[in-house]
Structure 1
Amino acid sequence: MIPYRVSKLRRMGPARLTAGLDDNRRLDLDTHYTIHRQLDGETVDGLIAMAEEVDLRGRGGAAFPFARKLRAVAAHTRTSDTVVLVNAAEGEPASMKDKMLLTRAPHLVLEGALLAASALDAKEVVIATPAGELAEGSMMAAVAERGLIGYVRVVGIQERFISGEGGALVKAVNGELGMPSGRKVRSSDSGVNGLPTLLSNTETFAQLALLAELGPEEYASVGTPQEPGTILLSVSGSVAAPTVVECTPGVPLAAVLDMCEARVGDGLLVGGYHGKWLSAADAYGAIVSRRGMSQSGGELGAGIIVPLGSDTCPLGETVRVAAYLAAQSAGQCGPCRMGLPSLARAMAELTVGTPGALDLVQQAATAVRGRGACFHPDGTSRFVLSALEAFADDVEEHRLNGTCGRPTKEVLPLPIADSSDVRLVVDWTRCQGHGLCAHLVPELVKLDHHGYPVFIDSPVPSWAKSEAQRAVEMCPALALRIGAR
């Protein structure tokens, strides 16, 4: 489970998405309408025109043009019912912005979703949130305040890193296992209950509400001509406190870091765990926008900024996340089942100076890229390879000395271990190096040059638990067990 972090709020520019939150912990319906005006309905053509005028993009990471999604679903309205689906399944451990909106400004999100639903004459609105968290309760309360129970459905789903992937989300909402389908099916063609579905991220619907409230001209009065409006950033890691920052595109990243009292050290991560590392020099020269981050060698993605202080090992931090990403895969294709664990192990070998490990990391990353059933292998390889570039001096230090002399302080946020998380554990006094475990669960175990097992340092994925149990039962030396670390 990824618990909701009570994050600070900061601003660089006008308060739009965060308006009213200085004086109110949560905006109920009456308070919401003292800050935002009640919206009139819009036609589909009117919404599309507004979204196109300001080039409104999805804020979940892919930055897909919202008008194109809206137009694709609208094309089905004459022949089919439609659904609006809010992707509030924020499975990215380093992101806080969507949970902040859901818990503190739920009616702004609902306003945007209802505006789109009215334009499409949608059959229902579905809000998919992490199950059992504050966000789910806040949205259920907001729906009740509006008297929309029955038309707006809040669905709590199991939160995993891939739970926000479009296909996985639709399957979870439909009562299936929330895993990517392995084949591209546009939600605009077939989504919730097989109906054409307008699927977008939490912040995107909040932005749509603001766009309709302010109008395109006022909405675009801040930001850059290419990226108007404001954006939300989730800033954590080596900072004074985890912070959600509302800022205007075009501000220097250095100003955001200074505001959050960040300690950058060797570099920082932008775009989350499918994003890229930037060196400290590149980070302090970067501009906060999609274009600005790209020009500095990063990508804005879902607006995640995680600086690392100089007192933690950046490669050790990368290994922790690489192992987590390997365990979070759907396990449905070779690159996820075999490639990502191999990539995580190779990174671990690099940190202790194993000869040839750098080549193994690069080979493993190249082997998974572009070959997965979803984008998880691509994003993971991008994350790891960017670390090699951003922390080149540290890589060389580890390669030569087996360490950089710094501990891994676990600065990068990861979920709190669930009680069901288990690992393969070996009793080294019993292990005789038979190697059978590596043949039974090659996704989790490989053999070192002496023939003894090397385990990936992460919980056993759900899809591999039966194979791991089989390895335990078949170990000739009775050296394996499944349990806590």
Structure 2
Amino acid sequence: MNVPLPDVPEVRVVGLPQLTSGFDLVERLDLSMHLKVHGPLEPQNGERLAELAEAISLRGRGGAGFPFGQKLRAVAKSAIRRGVRPVVVVNGSEGEPACRKDTVLLNRAPHLVLDGALLAAEALGARTLIIGLTRNSTESSIRTALAERGLSDRRGQRLRARIVRTPERMVSGEASSLIRAADGGPALPPGRRTRAAESGVGGAPTLLSNAETFAQLAVGARIGARRYGHTGLYNEPGTVLLTISGAVARPMVVEAPTGVPLRYVLQLAGAPMIPQGVLTGGYHGNWIDAAAAHDAAVSRESLAALGGSLGAGAILPISQDTCPLGESLRVANWLAAETAGQCGPCKLGLPAAAGGLSDVLNGGGPAALEALREVTQAVRGRGACKHPDGSARFFASTLSAFTDDLAAHVLGGGCGRETLGVLPLPMPGYTEESAPTGEKLAVDWTLCQGHGLCADLVPELIRLGADGYPALADASVPIHLRGRAQRAVRRCPALALRIEQPPAERPARPALPGSDRKALGSGRS
């Protein structure tokens, strides 16, 4: 049943809009309409801008939640100490299939994002602005917006602005991946952890934050800290953008003040009245049960207190009639295939964890469960980027949230429910680098002699079982692993490995952004 989210889903508003002001008037705010809706924006010096960010408690909205004012001060301090111009980077690389809030902003309110980025660039004295993007629709919108402002990458301009396109992969949205791509390298973590505020693009101090963060900064600068604080909670003022998908009638992006009951937001999207569980924070987030979802409010503090997380703002309920472990296994296989392949915990640990979860579902018993827990623990805190840690968090949360189902699979014959596939993942045939090709690896067991060479060549998809024979992931071969999968087939000494092609009847490719504008919407509740 897997249905990927459209680039720009329906947009709804709880209360008065801030980030989505004007969405009820036009599908996209060009510069003229943007100024009519939001008004002009006065520049501010660095200290004043940092004080504003601290006054409105602005934290990064990309998942990590780092205080923006602290980051701004760190970049300014480093730039002054080294005597170099800093760089400002907007991270619009939403490579997670369950997130669309930044994509909505970049498509429908690009100038609000640019306002915040240009405000920061002016305050820091930056002469370079970079916007990292993953999708055709966002690139088209931002190119148009830059042209409307007369910004480009031509020499001689006071501020040079350019777009960096990255593959639609989970690891592409990692800060170090985007910085590496901006320097002309692959959109992969460099294998070492560095602070962008000290050394980012071109070695210069770099202020990097996601699109919503810069849009929030622009809103705060226009209306001031006092008025900004009139919306939402006193300790987490303002609004947040949430992407609601999963078992819902209408996937949507919702702008809501902090403090609004989570159950109300779920009802807007047509979620089950009593969900079996709600995945909060996206595929690097945490599951919460129906009782916690009923009690939770839309805020970092409230969700964290109940075992959830706000993360990147993705909220995904599942209904009672699907197997939660089966749903999690689909995501686990995708997370394993998203590995950058540069460190053991990511390249070997995540496929082993996904395989371990598959073993648990397929009757592996207590031994399989214990092995899964050991692998998950071994992955945590040892990766070259945050992908292994986030994935390990997802695995651990799955095991703790669905204990009854886990017991049914470990001790009995399973929970008796099918996996409906309600959590969105890329469709086979999608052209981005990380997406499945539809092809699958298969073994001719009459020929296989257990040499294990295939597991060395493509450990993301094949691991060796306890008997020394290969165990294949129940996942399609991603495009970026196709070459190694073909090499494994060619080098199998027993000629036992093959690649099976997808069925002839393949799902229709999702419509290009812009052709589904009738689905765009705005509403207030």
Aligned residue number for residue 39 of structure 1: 41
For each residue in 1:23-80, what CA deviation from the matched residue of structure 2 results, as whole angstroms up to 9, or x when unmatched? 2100011111111011111000110111111211110011100011111111244410
Aligned residue number for residue 161 of structure 2: 152
Aligned residue number for residue 235 of structure 1: 244
Matched letter for residue 97 of structure 2: P
Aligned residue number for residue 399 of structure 2: 388
Consecutive unaligned residues in structure 2, runs of 5 or more: 154-159, 503-525
Q: Superposition pairs for residues 36-435 of structure 1, below 5 Å? A: 36-78=38-80, 79-131=83-135, 133-150=136-153, 151-263=160-272, 264-355=274-365, 356-417=367-428, 418=430, 421=436, 425-428=441-444, 430-435=446-451
**TM-score, with normalisation over the residues of structure 2?**
0.88
The alignment's C-alpha RMSD in Å is: 1.9
Residue 460 of structure 1 deviates from its aligned partner by 4.5
Contact in 1 for aligned 2:90/2:132 (Cα 8 Å)? yes
Deviates more, 1:438-447 or 1:75-84: 438-447
Aligned-partner Cα distance in 2 for 1:246–1:77: 35
For each residue in 1:227-252, what CA deviation from the matched residue of structure 2 results, as whole angstroms up to 9, or x when unmatched? 00111111001111111111111111
Residue 477 of structure 1 deviates from its aligned partner by 2.9
Matched letter for residue 148 of structure 2: E
SS at match of 1:312: coil
Matched letter for residue 292 of structure 2: D
**TM-score, with normalisation over the residues of structure 1?**
0.95
Aligned-partner Cα distance in 2 for 1:13–1:3: 25
Residue 388 of structure 1 deviates from its aligned partner by 1.3
SS at match of 2:271: coil
Contact in 1 for aligned 2:454/2:492 (Cα 8 Å)? no
Aligned residue number for residue 456 of structure 1: 473
Bigger RCO of structures 1 and 2 (CA < 8 A, at least 6 apart): 2
Change (3 A) 1:366 1:92: same
Change (3 A) 1:178 1:95: same
Extract structure 1 runs of 4+ deviating beyond 4 A.
Answer: 419-424, 459-467
Matched letter for residue 342 of structure 1: A
Matched letter for residue 103 of structure 1: N
Consecutive unaligned residues in structure 1, runs of 5 or more: none
Matched letter for residue 379 of structure 1: G
Aligned-partner Cα distance in 2 for 1:286–1:400: 32
Aligned-partner Cα distance in 2 for 1:290–1:474: 50
Residue 354 of structure 1 deviates from its aligned partner by 1.2
Aligned-partner Cα distance in 2 for 1:449–1:56: 50
Residue 428 of structure 1 deviates from its aligned partner by 2.7
Contact in 1 for aligned 2:53/2:68 (Cα 8 Å)? yes
For each residue in 1:435-466, what CA deviation from the matched residue of structure 2 results, as whole angstroms up to 9, or x when unmatched? 43455344432344555421122344677656
Residue 172 of structure 1 deviates from its aligned partner by 1.0
Contact in 2 for aligned 1:89/1:130 (Cα 8 Å)? yes
Matched letter for residue 288 of structure 1: V
Residue 363 of structure 1 deviates from its aligned partner by 0.9
Aligned-partner Cα distance in 1 for 2:222–2:500: 54
Aligned-partner Cα distance in 1 for 2:123–2:350: 43
Contact in 2 for aligned 1:315/1:351 (Cα 8 Å)? yes
Deviates more, 1:283-292 or 1:149-158: 149-158
Change (3 A) 1:77 1:337: closer
Residue 253 of structure 1 deviates from its aligned partner by 0.8
Residue 273 of structure 1 deviates from its aligned partner by 0.7
**Percent identity at matched positions?**
48
Residue 180 of structure 1 deviates from its aligned partner by 0.9
Residue 470 of structure 1 deviates from its aligned partner by 3.9
SS at match of 2:315: strand
For each residue in 1:196-255, what CA deviation from the matched residue of structure 2 results, as whole angstroms up to 9, or x when unmatched? 111001000000000000000001111111100111111001111111111111111111
Aligned-partner Cα distance in 2 for 1:165–1:439: 27
Contact in 2 for aligned 1:437/1:445 (Cα 8 Å)? no
Deviates more, 1:430-439 or 1:110-119: 430-439
Aligned residue number for residue 494 of structure 2: 477
